[in-house]
Each structure stands twice: as structure tokens, then as C-alpha cells.
Structure 1
Amino acid sequence: MVGAISKLDRDNATGLTADDWASALDWWREAGVDVLVDDGVRDWFAAPPAPIAVTAATVAATAASAPAALPATLEAFAAWRLGADAPEAAWSGVSLAASGPAYAKIMVLVDCPDREDGDAGALLSGTTGRLFDRMLAAIGLSRETVHVAAVCARRPAAGRMPREIEARLGEVARHHIGLVAPERLLLLGDATARAVLGMDRQAAKGDLRAFNHDSGTTGAGTTGVVASLHPRLLIERPAMKAESWRDLQLLVKDWKQ
């Protein structure tokens, strides 16, 4: 507004200066004028509306609509993750539990179960699972030494993590990581990286990123995180295995088993 007035003043379009216009606006503002045009007639002398009373019922309703606190122990969390209060409990299909040692030094997180996983009743099964096992073996690990879990415990109808629930599922996944408190974490897939790190794998790749947590059995700590490719993508695009191999080497670099 002032910039436009200054231009008018420079062009001598009016006899008023920018200071004159600013003074007038200040006067109207102090008088209570907050809009130039209103659709309806306003009673400037009407009493202000009464404040909304906060009652016990209001507080209870607000608390009921807010997500409940996540379980504080891994055992309780594992039961809750498969129960009726989990974010995806209303989806069709079955929820798949995490596998491997509860407090493993290395944790692997995928986005959601594949179709084969649902049939087998375990994450990373079938053809994808066999490739995953070879990937672990290449860096001296196995299913018996890593904690494997999914951001979505159930497979979404479209096979991809729904964006509208991604934030809540990410919160749940980060809580899970904190309870396990691994030394290293391998994130497989773009959606998994977004849920945990808040960025796509492409933006996170190539670095050992720090994930700080304070809910594990060991107290506050830091987990080294590597964002990599999901085995299902490697099956579709074998040429990307070289990139995956670099990520696996980064995962165990300077790490003692």
C-alpha cells in the first residue's frame, strides 16, 4: 500500500503524500476498522461473545479424539502393534509381527508387507525374501541376528503406504526404533525413509545418518541410519544392485558385531 502511495506521490497524481495516507490508515486502525468492505452490517457497540466454557466433558472428548500414548516397553508395543488400536487395524488382511531378536544391534525396516508376505505370514518372504537373505549374508548377517519390522503392519489396498496416514505410522515406527535401540538401522524403500527421516531415499542416500532416541532399554542413544533400496526394486532393476551393495557396506562400516 505504501509503495503504491509513494508512486502516486512521485507522479503528482494527488496532493497527498505517503505520510498523509499512512497517518489516515493509522487513524482508522485505532478506531477499530479492520476491513475495508464487509458483507453484512456490523454492530460495533455489541458486547463481545462470551468465552466458551471448558468443562470436564470437553476435556474428556478432546482426550478421546487424541491418539493414545504408545506402549513404553517393547513387549507391550509388540502386542499393541497387532491389536485393534494400531493405525491400520481397520484395513483388510492380517498384521505381520516383527521378527528376529527383540534388541538386535541391527534393525531393518520396510514400508509394508508384500503380497507374498501375507500368504507366508512373515515379512520379506518369497522371492524378495530370498534376495534379502543373500544381502544379509554378504555383510555377515542373517535373519537370526537382525530385527525386521514394517512401518505398515498390514499391506495397504494399493500396496503403497497411504500419504494421509504416513505421519502417524512414522511416529509409531520411530517409537519402535527407540524401543529396540539398535546400533544401526537399514531403511528399505522411499516411503520408509520418509516415515523415519522425513526425506526420500534419494535425498538421504550415501550417508550414515544419526537417529537420536531416548525410549530404549539402554536410555538415550544414537542409531546410525542408512536409507537404501527395497529388494523388490532390485528384482525389477538388477542394475541397481551395485548401489544397494554400497549401502550395505556403509551400514556395517566401522561397526563391530
Structure 2
Amino acid sequence: MGIEGATDWREAAASALSWWQEAGVDTVVDEAPRDWTARENATPAKAGPAKQAPLVEEEVPLPATLEAFIDWRFGGDAPESAWGEPVVHVTGNPASPLMIVTDMPESGDCDAGALLTGDAGRLFDRMLAAIGHDRGSVYLVSLCIARPVTGQVPREIEEKLAELARHHVALAAPKRVLLLGQTVSRAILGADAGTGRGRLQPVNYQGGQSEAIATYHPRFLITKPAAKADAWKDLQLLIGGQNQ
């Protein structure tokens, strides 16, 4: 007989078990996979068909009146409410034929409690005066009601903010809308200010239409004074035929 036939399997098995015990192996391993990270007192889940999460979240209808929308927009359900930053409300006359949309509050707007303060605000006031308006005769709103810590509108919520801004325009139903900067232009018109500038463009919504023109933000004009000539052309186009 060979070596295999001379082997005492009982003695070999006992030796192996003794070695495993000394090594700390004291648990029989199942053939089925086991989650060794699960808590010991966890109740095993019963086998059954896996439940799938809904693919699309249920959409909550936005308020259908301007007053109700403003209350909701500056309440705890607004996308920016989770930031913990102060919000800056709309200003001016909601019934004005001219609605102006900025991108976000300036760094000092929260302290002042109004949109477009500081150097950008002073230039904005001069722009309004040049077309025969002041802050009391326009409706000034912001795409983002709180100032992001980065100083830029977060791209991950830009689509939602755009939806809210278009709804805001529809409820206010102004004759014309002035869009300040590329972010606002992209939100309302779906295009950058560079491609949308120089012409009035329709903003369609259920029950009506407004005309919008995109121009440079006062913040940009402070750093690029040469663009003021083009901005003046935009303002002239904005008020052209306004009383027709």
C-alpha cells in the first residue's frame, strides 16, 4: 500500500481541528454568502421581491397666485432655505410693466435688506434713471434669493431656480423683462447673454407672453467699462415702443 493508504484520517482530522482551535477558528462557515459586517442581533430579512424606489419624485404644484408664490418662495420650502444664509426679498412694484431679474444678492445686500446695493447698486440706479425709471417703478427680483458662499449660483440647483424664476415671470406678467447677466439669461431664455443680447425675445407662459432682453450685469460693467456702450443699446431697445 502507498502512503495514502497508510494515512490515519481520524488522527489527521483531529490534528487539523486542534490547529484551527489554536488559531482561533471556532465558527463553522456556511456555504451561502454571509454579511460579516452586519450586527449580530440583526434580524435576517425574509426572502421576497425587492421593493424599488419610485423613479420620479412627486412634483408639488407651485402656488398659482403671485402673493402665495412670494410667501412660498421666501419660506422654509425654498431650495436655498437649507443654506442657513439670510434671504433678500423682492423690491419695487409687482404690477410694474418692467420686471428686472438679477442673479443673486450682492455681498452687502443682506445687511441692507435690498437687492443690488454697493457699487453695483449705484450703477444700477444710474441705468434706471437713464431710461426714466427708479426702484419704485420697476419690479426687482433675484434668481437666487440668498447669496451662495461661493459667490456663484450653484449649477446643481440652477435648473430648479430657473423653473421658479419663469413661474415668477408668468405670475407677475410684466410687459418686458430685463435680464442681468449670463446666469439669469440662461435661466429664463435657455441661452447665454452673449447670444441673447441685442434683441427682444419672447418669454411664453400659460395665458400670456412677455418680451425679454439680456444685458450685462452692473457688477460686470464695473470691471469692464467698455461694455457700457452695448449695455446702453440694450436699455434703449428695452424702452423702445414701451408705451405703444
Alignment TM class, shorter chain as reference = 0.7 to 0.9
Paired letter, 2:82: A
Q: What is aligned with 1:152?
A: 144
**Equivalent residue of 1:210, what SS?**
strand
Work out which of the residue numbers 228, 231, 236 in structure 1 matches 2:218: 231
Paired letter, 1:254: G
Please tell me whether residue 66 in structure 1 is matched to residue 58 in structure 2: yes
Q: What is aligned with 2:67?
A: 75
State how far apart, in whole Å, the 1-side matches of 2:119 and 2:192 are: 25
Following superposition, the deviation at residue 201 of structure 1 comes to: 0.2
**Equivalent residue of 1:168, what SS?**
helix
Following superposition, the deviation at residue 84 of structure 1 comes to: 0.8
Task: Kindly provide the CA deviation profile for residues 99-154 of structure 1, in whole angstroms up to 9, marking residues without a partner as x.
Answer: 11112100000111110112211101122111111101101111111000000000
State how far apart, in whole Å, the 2-side matches of 1:53 and 1:116 are: 49
State how far apart, in whole Å, the 2-side matches of 1:136 and 1:87 are: 30
Q: How does 1:34-49 map to 2 (within 5 A)?
A: none
Paired letter, 2:208: G
Paired letter, 2:70: A
- Where do 4+ consecutive residues of structure 1 move more than 3 Å? 50-54
Q: What is aligned with 1:162?
A: 154
Q: What is aligned with 2:4?
A: none
**Equivalent residue of 1:102, what SS?**
coil
Identical aligned pairs, as a percentage?
47
Following superposition, the deviation at residue 53 of structure 1 comes to: 8.5
Q: What is aligned with 1:254?
A: 241
Task: Kindly provide the CA deviation profile for residues 153-196 of structure 1, in whole angstroms up to 9, marking residues without a partner as x.
Answer: 00111111111111000000000000000000000011001111
Alpha carbons 1:181, 1:213 under 8 Å: kept: no
Alpha carbons 1:111, 1:189 under 8 Å: kept: yes
**Equivalent residue of 1:193, what SS?**
helix
Q: What 5-or-longer segments of structure 1 have no aligned partner?
A: 1-49, 215-219
Following superposition, the deviation at residue 69 of structure 1 comes to: 1.4
TM-score by length of 1: 0.72
Alpha-carbon RMSD across the aligned residues, in angstroms, is 2.0
Paired letter, 2:197: K
Aligned residues: 197
Task: Kindly provide the CA deviation profile for residues 213-235 of structure 1, in whole angstroms up to 9, marking residues without a partner as x.
Answer: 22xxxxx1111100000001111
Q: What is aligned with 2:13?
A: none
State how far apart, in whole Å, the 1-side matches of 2:84 and 2:182 are: 23
**Equivalent residue of 1:76, what SS?**
helix
Paired letter, 1:244: A
TM-score by length of 2: 0.76
State how far apart, in whole Å, the 1-side matches of 2:59 and 2:111 are: 31
Q: What 5-or-longer segments of structure 2 have no aligned partner?
A: 1-47
Q: What is aligned with 2:166?
A: 174
Please tell me whether residue 206 in structure 1 is matched to residue 193 in structure 2: no
